[in-house]
Amino acid sequence: MKDKNYPSGEYKLLAEIQKTLGPAAFPGGPYELTLGDDAAVRRGVSGERMILTADIAVQNVHFTLDIMSFTEIGFRTMASNVSDCAAMAALPEAALVQLVFPRNTRDLQKKIIALYRGFAEACRKWNFKLVGGDLSGGTAWTIGITVLGVAPAHGRLLRRTGARPGDALWVSGFAGRSAAGLFALQKWGRNHVPRRYRGLVECHVRPNPPVNLGIALGRCRNVHAMMDLSDGISKDGRTLCYDNRLGVELSFDGLKVPDDMMALSRELNIPWQEWALHGGEEYELLFAASKSFSQADVPVKYGRGLIQLGVFTDNHRDMVVRESGRIRKVPKRSWDHITEALHGK
């Protein structure tokens, strides 16, 4: 039985919600996985598996109109759901969109169409359909998206559970680039970010969840558990630890920090490690794999950006980082909606 030292305020609230729902939230019948992972899993009568996932994006919480266009907002919001599919080693198949728009908005139809243009770009990029939804007036732009996904033939769905002591912790791309891009946007504004940092901005406004890599990892038996990196390593890594009753020792020694990220770190006097550990909205994959796993286990075109970040330990709940031969505990500073709502931090 898991202890009550939850990895985040959101996880603690989810536990209370599960308790309140009782049997309504229990796995059973065709639903082999319900609350608590990147997506729920439904098994069909012929053994096929469908995943169901949902996300909400709220104005001035997940996006601001001064640094992103409506088309970019639509694309990124859809990409966050695609990322949940990738984390389960599944392919997106169809989406439903629930949109709330502020009343008395000028050029309302034009702005809504621009949002849907972004949705359409995501649908084309990852080859799935938008099949329905709902519209309503309200007080702020709010986008709710539900995505249905499917496990490919001869594949398997990956979950957050399954990691073992001694497994390596891997990430599909260098963590923190999206957070660095957001800092650049906040510093200079959308139209004045120096050219040398526009790649970081692109990571923030147009994320690229590695769906094909997720499928490849699902076919690799050396990969034991996976989730998407949406709230920062210090939070999502702790979630993997909690769900598997493990700890993790991260290592930054030997990491090749991207040149643009290092340059921005120096210019803003912000340690790149802060972005790497606590930055969110990466939409990369965070996964546990056996010691024998290597980049050669997946097709070259998908595995080029893989980075080993550390090793899981049997020291339950402990997250530490080794850097320059010194070990320090990793604080909880990634985004947590419940902590933010209760304490304003």
Q: Is the pLDDT reported for residue 7 higher than 90?
A: no
Identify the pLDDT of residue 345.
45
| Local confidence band at 4 (pLDDT 50, 70, 90 cut-offs) | low
Least confident window among 27-41, 77-91, 137-151, 159-173: 27-41
* pLDDT tens readout for residues 323-333: 877 888 998 87
- 52-66 tens-digit pLDDT: 999 999 999 888 999
In angstroms, what CA-CA distances link 79 with 69, 207, 276, 324, 331? 15, 7, 20, 36, 28
For the chain, helix (H) and strand (E) counts, in that order, are 11, 13
Q: What is the DSSP letter of 22?
A: G
> What does the alpha-carbon distance between residue 60 and residue 73 come to, in Å, rounded to a whole number?
12
Q: What is the model's pLDDT at position 42?
A: 78
Q: In which band, very low, low, confident or very high, does the pLDDT at 38 lie, cut at 50, 70 and 90?
A: low
The pLDDT tens digits of the residues spanning 174-185 come to 999 999 999 999
Domains of the chain, with CATH numbers?
37-150 (3.30.1330.10), 168-343 (3.90.650.10)
pLDDT band, residue 152 (cuts 50/70/90): confident
Q: Is the pLDDT of residue 156 over 60?
A: yes
Q: Of the ranges 43-52, 206-215, 256-265, which one carries the lowest mean pLDDT score?
A: 43-52
Question: How much is the mean pLDDT over the chain?
Answer: 88
User: Rounded to whole angstroms, how far apart are CA atoms 88 and 110?
Assistant: 35
**pLDDT value at residue 2:** 46
- pLDDT bin (cut points 50, 70, 90) of residue 204 is very high
Q: How far apart are CA 143 and CA 57, in angstroms?
A: 5
User: Residues 132-137: what's their mean pLDDT?
Assistant: 94
H helical segments located in the chain: 9-21, 70-87, 108-126, 177-188, 198-205, 211-218, 233-244, 259-268, 272-278, 300-303, 337-343
Structure tokens that stand for 128 in this block: 């799935």
> What radius of gyration, in Å, describes the C-alpha atoms of the chain?
20
Tens of pLDDT, residues 82-110:
999 999 999 999 999 999 999 889 999 99
User: Average pLDDT in the 21-31 region?
Assistant: 73
